A and B are shown apart, each in its own frame.
Chain A
Amino acid sequence: MQAKRNLEAPVGTTSRAGSLTSTAIERLKQSTALYTFQGVIIAAIILLPFLTDSNYLITMATFMGMYAMLAIGLNLVLGNAGQISLGQGAFFGIGAYTYAILTKDHFPFWFAYLASPILAAIAGFVVGYIALRLRGHYFAMATLAFALIMHRLFHVLPITGASLGLYDIPLPAFLATTKGTMADPLRFYYFVWLIAALVAVFTANVVRHRVGRALSALREDEVAAAMLGINVAKYKIEVFVISAIYSSIAGSLFAGYSGLISSSAFHLDRSMDILLMVVIGGLGSVFGSILGAILWTILPEIFRMFESLQGLEPYRLVTFGIMIILIVILWPGGAAGALRGLAEKWDRSRSGANASGVKGSNDTA
């Protein structure tokens, strides 16, 4: 029963208006240990270039930032609106191709960075409008079909370079190395994480305010929410469009950073990866999405690093699938949920009986 609550009502949501205030207080009192941990992650992201001069690590961490945007977007749809989207990879592709096509055609960069999310938002609205009005989980299949269509189109359309893809994709001067058109690793790293931070802050606000409250209401009980005058479909579509925008921003950054793109980068596997990040990180948590993106990027590296684990490499993907199943069933809060639990335990052991009162009210809610 506890597990069910965790999955359906993540962080700080409750179905009763009466206990809402106590939840708000709880959030203010959010574990100092957890804050410390979040602070460490943020500091690590900011200081990473000073800690290492390995280009490989910086590149990896740059991709982490893009994945974080993708994961935050999907988590909004999955964790907050309770809908599975398998189409995030397609929006990622729309963003990447829009940026690549426009910049290669010598449109100004700001225009390309603006057009990508706008196009993705339109696509997201159309798909969301068709599939999100339906009850049940048709949405997952509809977004899957959308992902397959887009992948096929990227692969055959002349404008996307068909199976060859597009290359020599330009970058704005402030992100490129001084002499060439290559991305400057450091500048790009900070640029990506700056955008990721903006996305995270914006999302945290969306979740905390009107849209987030409406969403948690409708996730608890769609009928009751609809009776209260919440336009269920509208909010779901809104959130889906936001996630499409995030994915396309990540896509346009990806296209500029790698300089070449082809349809294989936007295959269904991409959407599956993002789903896995969200599940590992923790449903309904912005911090969890970032954590998921980081863990997902590091995990294969760990496999590679330890000699004894290398034999397991072929089983990595199967293991990922088993992890999805296990986490969903046994550990619905993901890494963020586990950390929260640990942090609360730690806080309690430090401050003794003081904090246990607050914790108690949470258990009964």
Chain B
Amino acid sequence: MSGLTIGPAEVIQFTIGGLTNGAIYALVALGLHIIFKATRVLNFVQGEQVVIGGLLALTVSTTLHAPIFLAFVAAMIIGGAIGYAFERIAIRPAYRLGELATIMVTIGGFVVFKNGHQLIWGKESIPFPDFAFDFPFSLATPAFQGFAEAFLKATGAGFNPFAIWVILLSILGVVAVHLFFQKTLFGKAMRAVADNTKASELMGIDSTQVTAVAFAMSAALAAAAGILGGPLLNAGGSYGIEIAVKGFSGAIVGGFGSSLGSVAGGFIVGIIEALSGGLISSSYKDAISFGIMLLVLLVRPSGIFGEKEVRRS
């Protein structure tokens, strides 16, 4: 770190960056958690759903000249539909063949989705507009300017208005999912199926419907992550698998068995990554964040906030 002094201001700066990335990882982690709960498998398609979400939003907003928030909603709906269709067409036939077969199918799906979107949108990543100045996300208000200036004066760290939206909207998404599981009948049915599929089927719950909805939900969350992360990650290209592993690291660190644990883990991984990138070396930041996951697997397989869901064999 030649010439650059690391003070509290830099640490705060890195932490804000980490929270922004972490918010995106948290959405991915939550999506992985939902599918894991419903089917007991890891969904390798998740990362590509993130990429496709970003691409869809970009296409909708540029070809239809739709405002970004409409593109946001449209991409989440289309992404969710793709997830639903994928479950219907590929996952459902594999499900009865066992966990191993199902995961293999998601890996096959990963290959299809990745090369599919690269075929349609190309291999290079496409610049994604910073939506923090567009309606309704515009923060160019005096109140926000004042806040940003006060924050800069107090801490020495500035932040991008876009970061606030990423963090706020992903927290909103997480809360919405949480309320869905706790308060709605269908959410409760999903939890019942996750706990005990046989018993919930005997109670009249359509477990196949639950699985399909789980895939749709997590695909929609992934699409949201792709759009929110757009200004950071751009759209398209091949970042999908890395973000899937980051999300998975988050879920493992926080606790794969618990939804809030997965989300918290996503933020933790984001912060660790940003701090290690800023304070140690950006070349090793990915290795460090994945290394943290392996460390947690070693010392506390159920994750920091997880119940003892993961058993050692």
Contacts and interface: CB of A to CB of B under 8 A. Distances in A.
User: Do A and B interact with each other, yes or no?
Assistant: yes
Interface of A: 3-4, 7-8, 82, 84, 86, 127, 130-131, 133-138, 140-142, 144-146, 148-149, 152-153, 156, 222, 226, 232-233, 268, 272, 275-276, 279, 314-315, 317-318, 320-325, 328-329, 332
A329 B252 CA distance: 29
A318 B252 CA distance: 30
Contacts of A314: 119
B241 A325 contact: no
Nearest to A1: B96
Contacts of A315: 119
A136 B90 CA distance: 21
B104 A328 contact: yes
B287 A153 contact: yes
B310 A275 contact: no
B294 A145 contact: yes
B103 A137 contact: yes
Contacts of B111: 272, 276, 317-318, 320-321, 324
Contacts of B116: 318
Contact of A279 (B40, B104, B109, B248): B104
7 contacts: A7-B98, A136-B40, A137-B100, A140-B103, A145-B245, A321-B110, A328-B105
Contact of A138 (B93, B109, B112, B310): B310
B313 A144 contact: no
Contact of A136 (B101, B105, B108, B310): B310
Contact of A7 (B97, B114, B283): B97
Contact of A130 (B242, B248, B287, B294): B294
Contacts of B242: 148
Contact of A131 (B40, B98, B109, B297): B297
Contacts, number: 144
Given A321-B112, A324-B107, 11 more contacts: A84-B107, A134-B311, A135-B310, A138-B301, A146-B290, A148-B245, A149-B291, A152-B286, A314-B119, A325-B108, A328-B108
Interface residues of B, number: 49
Interface SS of chain B: helix, strand, loop or mixed?
helix
Interface string B231-242: 000000000011
Contacts of A233: 312-313
B304 interface: no
Contacts of B108: 321-325, 328
Given A222-B313, A317-B111, A137 B41 contact: yes
Contacts of B113: 321
A138 B188 CA distance: 26
Contacts of A142: 293-294, 297
Interface of B: 40-42, 44, 90, 93-94, 96-101, 103-105, 107-116, 119, 241-242, 245, 248-249, 252, 256, 283-284, 286-287, 290-291, 293-294, 297-298, 301, 310-313
B115 A318 contact: yes
A322 B104 CA distance: 11
A222 B311 CA distance: 13
A145 B249 contact: yes
Contacts of B290: 145-146, 148-149
Contacts of A156: 283-284
Listed from nearest, the 7 A-B pairs whose CB atoms lie closest are: A321-B111, A324-B108, A321-B112, A317-B115, A325-B108, A145-B290, A156-B283
A312 to B, nearest CB: 12
Nearest to B299: A130
Contact of A329 (B41, B93, B110): B93
A183 B7 CA distance: 55
Nearest to B96: A4
Contacts of B41: 137
A239 to B, nearest CB: 14
Nearest to B311: A135
B1 to A, nearest CB: 16
Contacts of B96: 4
Contact of B298 (A130, A148, A329): A130
A4 B97 contact: yes
A134 B97 contact: no
A325 B104 CA distance: 7
Given A7-B97, A329-B101, A138 B313 contact: no
Contact of B42 (A141, A232, A321, A324): A141
Contacts of B104: 84, 279, 324, 328
